[in-house]
Structure 1
Amino acid sequence: MNEKVRQLMAQIKVLEDELRAVVHQAEVPLFYRVDGKRIRFDKSVRAAHQQSKTGLLQWLFKSRPPTVVVAPVIYGLIVPLLFLDLGLSLYQAICFPVYRISKVRRSDYIVMDRWHLSYLNFMEKFNCAYCAYANGLLAYGTEIAARTEQYWCPIKHARKILGAPARTQAFLPYGDAENYQQRLSMFRDALAADSGKPDVPSDPPAS
């Protein structure tokens, strides 16, 4: 990877982090404040939330019948999701120490904080928790898989792939045989102190 591409990727990452921080800081004073592990709302905000809340019976009455009929299919996925959760956690607990890969923190991906929103009724809170768990679990699994891929095969695909993990942008170009053996150990060593951000090992000095 040439130096210009590396610099652009680093700039993009910095701008993305800055944008997230600015958006978050703009939201917090308007709606809530974080006090340790608790999320607190002002009294006026809580009152407005209560007024906006849709009662459970009214919510059920307004739901379209087809959405109620297919609900068991959606909720039934909790069984394979739980097995996936267990399998992913066991996999990285057993294998990552052997590969010397830093573990992915599950709590960074699965966040259950929508229960604090009083403008949601019980079913809305339940659905939000289910979505947060499912999407967070898949993101958690994607990062575990991406770190494994970086260890075993840090090579880009020849074809464009939608939804590829961010760290794959730093992988070696498809067909770059010369640098593969030379830099594979660098990609592996970078995983030992992984911070969750894509690693971009420096190019070896020209001989």
Structure 2
Amino acid sequence: MNPKIEELLARIHELERELEADLAETRARFHYHIDGHKIHFEREAAALQRRLRKSSLRTLIDAPLRHILTAPVIYGLFVPLLLLDIAVSLYQGICFPVYGIPRLKRGDYFVFDRARLPYLNAIERLNCLYCEYGNGLLSWAKEVAGRTEQFWCPIKHARRVPTPHESYNRFFDYGDAERYRAELQRLRKAYGEVKEGSDSTVQQRSE
């Protein structure tokens, strides 16, 4: 890997450690802790949050008409999202073993925890659940596509990519024909992994 890229990735790792420390401070400030996949609020904090809950009826009454009218459009996307979920699952399950690409664990990209917030009503929880599913699905699909790209065409673009997938930083520089021909097979066996308990996917493993 390019030494400059290695340096940048090391800095990213350090920033992630700082972020985790900041998240720990946030958990202490709002009086909750995480036990595996479960989130527990202290009794007094949970009681305070429940007092701040708005009823579902009040949420509907206060909602702007334009929000209510566009709701069917938003929730109408559930069908294509579900079809995408099925398609990516089938693609990864069938093709990745053929190519020798390690499969990404789907569940690592879906985080469903907002429904446990005592201050959210039923409508708000449903909205959060839908957003969690949609964004988790797209994040997972993006990384599945990224590993596919790493196998078939691991070449960086000439222009900057705004939000590249995890595999992108390991790609060959645009125009570097020698490294592409010499190291393509090696790169096809080097993939990133989702770190347990983390929100990022920057850990690298070479096989």
TM-score w.r.t. structure 1 length?
Answer: 0.89
Would you say 1:16 and 2:15 are equivalent positions? yes
8 Å Cα contact 1:187/1:199 also seen in 2: no
Q: How does 1:3-152 map to 2 (within 5 A)?
A: 3=3, 5-31=4-30, 32-152=32-152
Structure 2 Cα separation of the partners of residues 125 and 131 of structure 1: 10
For 2:193, the equivalent position in structure 1 comes to 195
For 2:177, the equivalent position in structure 1 comes to 177
For 2:198, the equivalent position in structure 1 comes to none
Matched positions, count: 198
Counterpart residue type for residue 195 of structure 1: E
Output the aligned Cα RMSD: 1.7
Structure 2 Cα separation of the partners of residues 182 and 50 of structure 1: 61
Counterpart residue type for residue 187 of structure 2: F
- Cα deviation for residue 184 of structure 1 reads 0.5
Q: 1:90 to 1:144 in 2, by over 3 A?
A: same
By percentage of residues, which structure has more strand? 2
8 Å Cα contact 2:143/2:165 also seen in 1: yes
Counterpart residue type for residue 193 of structure 2: S
For 1:204, the equivalent position in structure 2 comes to none
8 Å Cα contact 2:109/2:139 also seen in 1: yes
Structure 1 Cα separation of the partners of residues 167 and 12 of structure 2: 11
Would you say 1:164 and 2:161 are equivalent positions? no
Gaps of 5+ in 1: 202-207
Counterpart residue type for residue 78 of structure 2: I
Structure 1 Cα separation of the partners of residues 74 and 142 of structure 2: 21
- Cα deviation for residue 119 of structure 1 reads 0.2
Structure 1 Cα separation of the partners of residues 189 and 167 of structure 2: 15
- Cα deviation for residue 78 of structure 1 reads 0.2
Counterpart residue type for residue 22 of structure 1: A
TM-score w.r.t. structure 2 length?
Answer: 0.89
Gaps of 5+ in 2: 195-201
Counterpart residue type for residue 113 of structure 2: D
8 Å Cα contact 2:5/2:169 also seen in 1: no
Q: Deviations over 1:150-177 (max 9, x none)?
A: 1111100112222221421221111111
Structure 2 Cα separation of the partners of residues 173 and 96 of structure 1: 25
- Cα deviation for residue 198 of structure 1 reads 6.3
Higher relative contact order (CA 8 A, sep 6+): 1
Counterpart residue type for residue 55 of structure 1: S
8 Å Cα contact 2:193/2:205 also seen in 1: no
Percent of counterpart pairs with the same letter? 40
Structure 2 Cα separation of the partners of residues 161 and 37 of structure 1: 33
Structure 2 Cα separation of the partners of residues 39 and 2 of structure 1: 41
- Cα deviation for residue 105 of structure 1 reads 1.2
